Structure 1
């Protein structure tokens, strides 16, 4: 009877994590300044449709990722690993990232200076800028000492969809796939290197920091 009393609670947690919300911990600085190492985040799992747990088969189409969304997904070269990045390119988009300048379908993405950011872990000062993707305005970081450029890893999902040029690359996003970047642009392994995120790999949209033990002030919603 004692064990049976816990069943409704266990079932509720299972449903909550499988279909609605799931917590994740940020393990690296690739999404600074939006997300920092140690942030515990919540991911909305039904934003992009309800899926059957384990099989990851979509059973209800609710919405699609938009430019600027911060998404958690299964890393294409190894689906056992969860990654988090920001959606930059939608299916069919032409993405250009050359000399640290981003263009979507031939239009430069609005960017303005926003001072500097001090990376406490690497003990270095980075350039902070404000970027606008779609309806989302957020901050990104670049390192003036890191040279421009990108290259394709052997595990690249669609090497023929990208052209690597001096200082960066130009890609056309394949059908049912997404181009993603980290906000910490010079410290992120993302679509510039391993390719695109298939729609089936999406886990959900990240939307808030619910805990950071060392920095409680970081708790709250983010873009």
Structure 2
């Protein structure tokens, strides 16, 4: 009688361990960000939790901080903020970014910087991703919009260092005035 109870507890422990492994490995994943491209929102050398399944259910939204495969070398992952959705027209001048004719007021950008004026049309199934630290121009201004399959997942929490712990803000009020394209 005691042996079957012990066996059941071992099986339950193994099942719970496997479930936790699946959740941690395939749904939520930790990433070490080693660049300054998201400062001041997220500091250099921060560890973030990324929900890798978030876009299986829904579509990426403006303001989402995402981890994506770096277009020039897809073996490297980088982080950026989705600014433009499929069908959007993005315009940049020296100081401002506008989406579909609406100039963004971006509180997460400490020092606006665009080396040159330019306009992009975001294709279907593509997203325009910019760094919060606009002086680092290695983003969609350089390599263009990225397709959804390049996006690893939505960054949700900075968990290390503990002094920087935060839920990552999507700044939804920044993007509310932007009109969607038909």
**Distance between the aligned counterparts of 1:168 and 1:26, measured in 2?**
29
* TM-score where L is the length of structure 1: 0.65
* TM-score where L is the length of structure 2: 0.79
How far off is 1:13 after superposition? 4.8
Give the match for residue 60 of structure 2: 65
Alignment root-mean-square deviation, CA: 2.2
Confirm whether residue 89 of structure 1 aligns to residue 81 of structure 2: no
Give the match for residue 103 of structure 2: 108
Confirm whether residue 222 of structure 1 aligns to residue 168 of structure 2: yes
Give the match for residue 140 of structure 1: 109
User: What CA deviation, in whole Å up to 9, does each residue of 1:24-49 have, x standing for no partner?
Assistant: 01101110011111211001112101
Give the aligned length: 159
User: More helix by proportion, 1 or 2?
Assistant: 2
**Distance between the aligned counterparts of 1:32 and 1:198, measured in 2?**
24
The 5 A counterparts of 1:19-168 are 19-49=26-56, 62-109=57-104, 111=105, 131=106, 138-142=107-111, 148-149=114-115, 167-168=116-117
Preserved CA contact (<8 Å) 1:76 1:198: no
How far off is 1:11 after superposition? 3.3
Bigger radius of gyration, 1 or 2? 2
User: More strand by proportion, 1 or 2?
Assistant: 1
Give the match for residue 180 of structure 2: none
Tell me, which stretches of 5 or more residues in structure 1 are unaligned? 50-61, 112-130, 132-137, 150-166
**Distance between the aligned counterparts of 1:37 and 1:103, measured in 2?**
27
